[in-house]
Structure 1
Amino acid sequence: MATIFITGSTDGLGRAAAQSLADQGHRVLLHARSAGRTGAIGELASRSAGIVVGDLARAADVRSIADQVNAIGRMDAIIHNAGVYTRPGRGATPGGHAETLAINTLAPYMLTALIERPGRLVYLSSGLHRGGEGSLDDLDWKKRAWDSAKAYAESKLHVVALAFTLARRWPKVLSNAVDPGWVRTKMGGAAAPVDLDTGQRTQAWLAVSEDPAALVSGRYWHHLAQQQPASEAADPEFQDELIEKLGRLTGVELPQV
């Protein structure tokens, strides 16, 4: 039985993965953006290892989430599921960052650095990450005119690069990125072609499976199959520059080894 922390697990893919893992007998630590959102978890809450609360757009909350997780104990796996899609404008978090960057990139980076190292890390990306190249000159959208689709693509490129960075730097951790496809969730909409069960299956499998096919690191997955990611994500120079910039933006250093 494994213990798995899943960000953004009150609904959508995060909730579906939590349900699937709990049904398999694993202990799932849930995450809600606010105390008011915990009610949406329903009966799954009684079968969980607990619920941590915090808004990923707020750096102080992200630090609190890490503290809450660490107080419960070391996780066997963490699924970085939470994210936002398009935003009508750049927005600004309390720290002054673009909301898409803060939630989709800075939060998983900070949680990775601050939570006790698990055995497995899984980062939710998107096939759209292939349109995110060339982001490092203006990560925080302070110079460019806002482009919500581009910002989303860039953030999903960042998490693939983060997953690959960890695979390279932390050889004892299995770190992978997953494209769940266009899934019928609140974010994906009713017209999306992929059902929830299919959408959650790969990340849940990577988090707990002892299948030799799942015991790999530094790979990009779509529906249980490895795919080729954007070349930039797999470039160690891009990875290192990204990590250096994220460290400066957050004030949190990612451990080297």
Structure 2
Amino acid sequence: MSRILVTGSADGLGRAAADALLSAGHDVVVHARNEERAAGLAALVDRGAGLVVGDFTERDAVRRVAAELNDAKPLDAVIHNAGVWSGRAVMPVNIIAPYLLTALLRGPRRLVYLSSGSHFDGRASLAGVDWRGASAGSYSDSKLFVTTLAAAVARLRPAVPSNAVDPGWVPTRMGGPSAPDDLELGHRTQEWLASSDDPRALTTGGYWYHGERQQPHQAVHDEAFQDRLMRALAEETGTALD
């Protein structure tokens, strides 16, 4: 069985994924942004899940979580699930945190990044992006960036399957109660990519929706755009992704 980190697993899709992976016998590490949210994960921790706590709006917290995980048993996979819809945390949580974790964590053999159909509305431009969120930021842009990050990592680390997943617009706290998509299908693909021995799950550089590989925004596989994004993230965080 695999050791899998699921970020943003206090509720919604992250919790559903962590719960299902734990039920399947995997060694799961859950994540919450603060101790209050972590208390809500007691049921999973009682069943054997590990726990890390850190507010991903703060880069030092992301680094501390990475260091804590690097000092523990190696991870086999990471599901970068943590995300926010609006406000000043959009860029810090949706793209800076997964970039930093990818750069800092040692050893994960599979990487899964949560994208969104909204990434098609993102702008393939880095001009004027406020990575620290002082002037907030576009959710669509952040999801285009993280989908591009997944593709860039697939190219730069060919031995590590790296994929992006659109979970659909599902009825979570972020998606709202009227969201029309299937909550169950919304977390199955990322679990499969993180843990399955199916040859399709071991492919890399994909953009997936409900178990099917689809074509993302044309900028995602533009290597020049990938390189610009990776340089910008490395310069912004002071941390290069090898």
TM tier, smaller: over 0.9
- In the aligned structure 2, how far is the partner of 1:10 from the partner of 1:155? 21
Query: Does 2:235 match 1:245?
Result: no
- Aligned residue type for 1:137: A
Structure 1 residue ranges (4+ consecutive) displaced by more than 3 angstroms after TM superposition = none
Deviations, residues 38-87 of structure 1 (Å, cap 9, x unaligned): 11113111223410010000011000110111121211100000000022
Question: Residue 94 of structure 1 corresponds to which residue in structure 2?
Answer: none
Question: Residue 7 of structure 2 corresponds to which residue in structure 1?
Answer: 7
Deviations, residues 159-205 of structure 1 (Å, cap 9, x unaligned): 11111111111111000000000011000000011232211000000
Please say if residues 133 and 232 of structure 1, whose CA atoms lie closer than 8 Å, have aligned partners that are also in contact. no
- Aligned residue type for 2:93: I
Please say if residues 170 and 179 of structure 2, whose CA atoms lie closer than 8 Å, have aligned partners that are also in contact. yes
Instruction: Select between 47-56 and 203-212 the one with higher mean Cα deviation.
Output: 47-56
Question: Residue 27 of structure 2 corresponds to which residue in structure 1?
Answer: 27
- TM-score of the superposition, structure 2-length normalised? 0.96
- In the aligned structure 2, how far is the partner of 1:141 from the partner of 1:170? 24
Task: Please provide the CA RMSD for this pair.
Answer: 1.6
Question: Which has the larger helix fraction?
Answer: 1
Runs of at least 5 residues in structure 2 that lack an aligned partner in the other structure: none
- TM-score of the superposition, structure 1-length normalised? 0.90
Question: Residue 208 of structure 2 corresponds to which residue in structure 1?
Answer: 221
- In the aligned structure 2, how far is the partner of 1:114 from the partner of 1:155? 20
Percent of residue pairs identical: 50
Runs of at least 5 residues in structure 1 that lack an aligned partner in the other structure: 92-98
* 170, 173, 176: which one aligns with 1:183: 170
Helix, strand or coil: the match of 1:240?
helix
Deviations, residues 130-158 of structure 1 (Å, cap 9, x unaligned): 1112331122179xxx685xx10010011
Query: How many pairs align?
Result: 241
* 164, 172, 177: which one aligns with 2:159: 172
Instruction: Select between 38-47 and 218-227 the one with higher mean Cα deviation.
Output: 38-47
Please say if residues 189 and 210 of structure 2, whose CA atoms lie closer than 8 Å, have aligned partners that are also in contact. yes
